[in-house]
Structure 1
Amino acid sequence: MSTSLINDWGEWLPRLWDGLLVSLQVTGLSLVLGFVIGLGFALLSSAGSGLVRWPAILLVEIGRGMPALVMLQLVYFGLPGVGITFDAFPATVVALTLTTAAYTSEIIRAGLRAVPAGELEAADALGLSHVDAMRFVVIPQGLRIALPTLMGFAILIFQVSALAYSLGLPELLGQAYSIGAATFRYLDVLVLAGLLYLAITIPASWLVDRLERRLSKHLG
């Protein structure tokens, strides 16, 4: 690696760091909001009433079937006839929240279904209502089972946040393209941006793997 490249990386790093912070902010907000909405959809999708269950399942399938880039464009430019548009940052958060909600709904629902039936029987024997059994028994255990998969999906959403460069959001990839357009050295700056992505995703993947192994031992 040449000294010139190292100097250039040192010059570009502050802008890329600012972009990384924007990427993390977008990812964090989208995950928090999406997980909450996803939990709601998971409960609705598991409801006994078809009038509640099937509309929720339909919305989840639409969200899962819609590519994240298309969702970003629809939210940013506004749905036809709705007339509501957003700036780049809130548009990205809204779009990734909807995508997160759709996918995490299925992850959480699978976790809830994995809770042994004996747990519900024990809750019923203790005189807990269905709501209390879901609140204190099924949901906590289901989320614990789903946690490794949810964390893995969080890493994916962080990577997907790079698509926000198409909206002009100055996140990590957007900053890299901006620097590349000014210097015509796209490869050099994209390598540095890739290293910053790896600095987040590799430790996060390691944590997910370690958590999954610990939970597997506990469940075993």
Structure 2
Amino acid sequence: MSTNTSILTDWAQFLPTLLHGLVQSLWIAAAAILIGLPLAFALSLMVMSKNRLVNAMGLVIVEIGRGMPALVILYLVYYGLPRFGVSLTNIASVIIALSWNYSCYCSEIIRAGIQSVPSGQLEAGQALGLDPRITFLRIIVPQGLKSTIPGLMGQSILAFQDTSLAYTIAVPELMKQAYSLGGESFQYLRVFVLAGLLYAAVTLPSTWITMWAERRINRV
């Protein structure tokens, strides 16, 4: 009983600091997602483009972003850009790195969704005399994006989890706060268990919502 009481007492002391870190993690993830989604759509269009130059540029950006671990991208942004005269804060570096990584994975999800729409839809629009661009944007894209929702939501959960990498460049997010509390109290296990529970408090409901959305879409 005394051990359990001790754990709860420590958690009560750690919780305010960890919650502050959690808010920072959520803010970073939200910024990366809001920037990454439009970029992902643009990259998917580049990869699908019939222009060889545009297609090649899109493929290079996407494959580099998917091929390198998020931590490597973060280091390249944080340590590399200042060498070219681009001065960034550590939070801005994290957002840029996660946005790039997130957009590259999401671009493939969006591309697959759009290409899953039967080609007959485009042909039907052309038969009705509609401009191919209008047919693509108003008919093909909405249908394709509908099927990508579960995948994009799942990738957004991973983006939130990737914010834990920000501790490596001293961003005061959840993992950084956990390390700091562990160093001060030497109760690393208790701190990281509580930090893990806070991560789970976000990711588990998000996963359930993703599964619910997938079932709803499959029923339609």
TM norm. shorter chain > 0.5:
yes
Q: Over residues 119-150 of structure 1, what are the superposed CA-to-partner deviations in whole Å (9 max), with x where a residue is unaligned?
A: 21222233221211121111111111111101
Instruction: Show the counterpart of 1:70.
Output: 72
Q: Which blocks of at least 5 consecutive residues in structure 1 are unaligned?
A: none
Mapping of 1:52-131 within 5 angstroms? 52-79=54-81, 81-131=83-133
Q: Which blocks of at least 5 consecutive residues in structure 2 are unaligned?
A: none
Deviation at 1:55, TM superposition (A): 1.4
Deviates more, 1:128-137 or 1:176-185: 128-137
Instruction: Show the counterpart of 1:18.
Output: 20
Paired-residue identity, %: 44
Matched, 1:206 2:211: no
Q: Which of 145, 166, 171 matches 1:143? A: 145
Q: Distance in 1 between matches of 2:15 and 2:172?
A: 14
Q: Distance in 2 between matches of 1:151 and 1:134?
A: 24
Deviation at 1:80, TM superposition (A): 7.7
Q: Distance in 2 between matches of 1:165 and 1:115?
A: 41
Q: Distance in 2 between matches of 1:156 and 1:92?
A: 14
Deviates more, 1:73-82 or 1:22-31: 73-82
Contact 2:82 2:88 in 1 (8 A): no
Instruction: Show the counterpart of 1:38.
Output: 40
Q: Distance in 2 between matches of 1:13 and 1:50?
A: 53
Contact 1:77 1:86 in 2 (8 A): no
Across the two proteins, how many residue pairs are aligned to each other? Answer: 218
Q: Distance in 2 between matches of 1:72 and 1:64?
A: 13
Q: Distance in 1 between matches of 2:7 and 2:200?
A: 19
Q: Partner letter of residue 8 of structure 2?
A: I
State the superposition RMSD in angstroms: 1.2
Deviation at 1:81, TM superposition (A): 4.7
Q: Partner letter of residue 51 of structure 1?
A: L
Instruction: Show the counterpart of 1:184.
Output: 186
Q: Which of 151, 155, 158 matches 2:157? A: 155
Query: When the two structures are superposed, what TM-score results if normalisation uses the length of structure 1?
Result: 0.95
Q: Which runs of 4+ in 1 moved over 2 A?
A: 78-81
Q: Distance in 1 between matches of 2:114 and 2:103?
A: 16
Contact 1:75 1:85 in 2 (8 A): no
Q: Distance in 1 between matches of 2:98 and 2:131?
A: 35
Q: Partner letter of residue 174 of structure 1?
A: K
Q: Partner letter of residue 122 of structure 1?
A: A
Q: Over residues 63-109 of structure 1, what are the superposed CA-to-partner deviations in whole Å (9 max), with x where a residue is unaligned?
A: 11111001111111124852323211111000001101111111110
